[in-house]
Amino acid sequence: MNEPGKPIIEIRSLAKTYQIYRKQEGLGAALRGLFKREYRQVEAVRNIDLTVGEGEFVAFLGPNGAGKTTTLKLLSGVITPTSGTARVMGFIPWQRENAYRRRFALVMGQKNQLWWDLPAQESFRLHQQIYCIDPAKFDRTRDELVDLLTVRELLGQPVRELSLGERMKMELIAALLHSPDVLFLDEPTIGLDVVAQHNIQQFLRHYQALRRITILLTSHYMKDVAALCRRVVIIAQGQIMYDGSLSGIIDRFSGHKIVTLLFADGDVPADLSRFGHVIDWQAPKAKLRVDRSVVTDVLAAILQAHAIEDVSVEDPPLEDVIAEMFSAVARDIEEENARVGARRD
């Protein structure tokens, strides 16, 4: 991959707070709510700072409600921040300048931008008019994208008759017809089968390398992230918790290794739990979770006590590490809320 170029997305102290009506249970409370309403403040994004260079493909990860989609909506100009600043290619997104709209695209896996009852090619023509794309350039770009995604035979078919994977391909074509410099992808492979996910990943990797477009991707599928992104930004409770390499996540947030043992005598010893937490036991194999600081000592003790035919030491799955991190953040927040509540009492 090429090194990132000049900063193209610059976010400083960006925050978005929503006021949510707190509805009380019961008829009496509902009637009182007509005259005096109670609200609570929800901080969807909390003073985040982020810089993304030209040509980067960055994964934006976090649990549901972490603030990922809110951030993409802010950068797309769909919503306005409560405070802070952001510039994308020099534009302030929520000013919604036409010059900016012609240089970025937003694809949301759970939202459709194509006309449901019309063939995709008709929606493509509408995009041509909206973005004032030169007819010759439109034809070249459409044909290139259609061939890359192998959907030419589907162009005349109503969108509602397409599979989920086929619809997502059409959504990507529509988003890229005006050749944007920045692409925001929100869960582009959600609900897709393994083959469809792989096809979308291959296309995005090839297109990004070919056009050196800047892409910010949110996804719950770690295979998307591993296949496409070298840099990962993790957001939880509206705050950035990590910004770095994919491999660095495991080094920073995982305190253990997975040790797989193949016992020579065909049986798994009963005392294995004294060496670590047994997570799988299928003779003659067993898997242990061992604190990474004592892996060497544990292996030496096991080899001294038992006949081992084969052994491997691996990092835990990325999904597990991130899930543990999210759980730890949630626990910290719950504890902090409990402390605040206790002080109020």
Instruction: Answer yes or no: is pLDDT of 145 > 70.
Output: yes
**Which neighbouring-strand residues pair with 108?**
186
**Average pLDDT of 271-286?**
89
* pLDDT tens digits along 192-205: 888 999 999 999 99
Q: What are the beta bridge partners of residue 61?
A: 234
- Helix axis angle for 164-176 and 120-130, nearest 10°, is 20
Q: Which residue has the tokens 């997305």?
A: 9
Model pLDDT, residue 1: 46
Residue keyed to tokens 């004294």:
274
- Residue 238 in this model has a pLDDT that exceeds 60: yes
Domains, the chain, in order of start with CATH, read: 7-15+51-251 (3.40.50.300), 255-314 (3.30.70)
* Mean pLDDT over the full length of the chain: 88
Strand partners, 48: 14
Check residue 253 and report its DSSP letter: H
The band of 226, judged by pLDDT with boundaries at 50, 70 and 90, is confident
Query: Is 282 or 10 the better-scoring residue by pLDDT?
Result: 10
Span 294-314, pLDDT tens digits: 999 999 999 998 899 999 999
Identify which of 155-159, 318-322, 337-341 has the greatest average pLDDT: 155-159
